[in-house]
C-alpha cells in the first residue's frame, strides 16, 4: 500500500479501516470474537472495541501466523479455549473489508438457522462473473475460455461449522496449510459441503491504493 501502516489500520476520516469492520461485527448475535493482531496494535483495538459498546460479546486476541490460514488456525485455537462447540458456526471476516453490510452476515447465518437436518456445513458469499473469463496456463498467453456461468468470485465473511472446519484446518498442518489462500479451501479439501449465497458488489476488500481511495471517497460522501 506504499506505507508502513498495515492497510487495516490506515486512518480514513479519523477512523481506522478495521474499526468500520468491527462496528458491523458488533451488531451480530455472537458468543465471542477473536481478532488476529500483532501486540503493538492490541491496546488501540481493545479501546475501539470498548468504544463500540459491544461488551456483551466475549473478546480475545490471537497471534498472526505465517499466512492467512495460519492466522485463522490461531484464532480457532483461541475460540476453543473460549468454549466454542463443534456445532457452533464460526464466521471469518477480513479486517480490511469495511463495507460489509449487516444484511449479508444475517443472510449467511439464516442459512444455518433454517437448517433443521444439520446438512449445512459451510456458507460462502459469491459474486457471478460479468466479464468473459479466460484460463492461462503460463500467466501470459490465453489457453482457453471458461464458462463464466460456472465461475464465481468468493467474498468474506465466510461461515463454517466450527468442529468440522477446525479439523479441516488441522489436517493441513504443518506444510500444506502454507499453500492455502482462501478460507473456504480447507473446507473444500476436507469434502465439506460449501453452500453459496449472493454476495454484495460493494463488499470489496481493500488491497490496492485504488481500493483505499474508493473507501476514502465513500466515507467523504456519507460524512455528516
Q: What is the pLDDT of residues 99-150, one digit of tens each?
A: 999 999 999 999 999 988 889 999 999 999 999 999 999 999 999 999 999 9
Low-confidence ranges of the chain (pLDDT < 70): 1-3, 55, 223-224
Report how far apart, in Å, the C-alpha atoms of 220 and of each of 2, 77, 205 are: 22, 39, 18
Q: Name the residue with cell 479519523.
A: 14
Predicted model pTM: 0.93
Of 99, 100, 103, 80, which is closest to residue 90 (Cα–Cα)? 80
Amino acid at each position: 500500500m506504499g506505507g508502513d501502516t498495515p492497510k487495516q489500520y490506515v486512518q480514513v476520516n479519523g477512523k481506522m479501516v478495521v474499526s468500520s469492520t468491527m462496528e458491523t461485527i458488533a451488531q451480530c448475535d455472537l458468543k465471542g470474537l477473536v481478532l488476529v493482531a500483532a501486540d503493538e496494535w492490541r491496546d488501540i483495538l481493545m479501546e475501539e472495541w470498548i468504544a463500540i459498546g459491544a461488551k456483551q460479546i466475549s473478546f480475545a486476541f490471537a497471534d498472526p501466523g505465517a499466512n492467512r490460514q495460519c492466522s485463522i488456525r490461531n484464532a480457532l485455537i483461541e475460540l476453543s479455549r473460549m468454549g466454542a462447540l463443534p456445532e457452533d458456526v464460526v464466521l471469518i471476516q477480513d479486517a480490511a473489508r469495511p463495507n460489509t453490510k449487516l444484511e449479508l452476515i444475517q443472510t449467511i447465518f439464516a442459512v444455518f438457522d433454517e437448517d433443521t437436518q444439520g446438512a449445512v456445513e459451510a456458507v460462502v458469499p459469491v459474486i457471478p462473473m460479468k466479464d468473459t473469463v479466460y484460463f492461462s496456463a503460463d500467466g501470459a498467453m490465453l489457453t482457453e475460455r471458461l464458462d463464466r456461468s460456472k465461475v464465481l468470485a468468493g467474498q468474506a465473511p465466510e461461515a463454517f461449522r466450527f468442529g468440522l472446519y477446525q479439523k479441516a484446518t488441522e489436517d493441513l498442518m504443518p506444510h500444506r496449510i502454507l499453500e492455502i489462500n482462501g478460507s473456504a479451501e480447507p473446507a473444500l479439501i476436507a469434502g465439506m459441503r460449501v453452500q453459496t449465497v449472493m454476495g454484495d458488489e460493494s463488499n470489496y476488500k481493500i488491497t490496492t491504493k485504488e481500493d483505499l481511495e474508493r473507501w476514502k471517497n465513500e466515507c467523504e460522501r456519507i460524512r455528516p
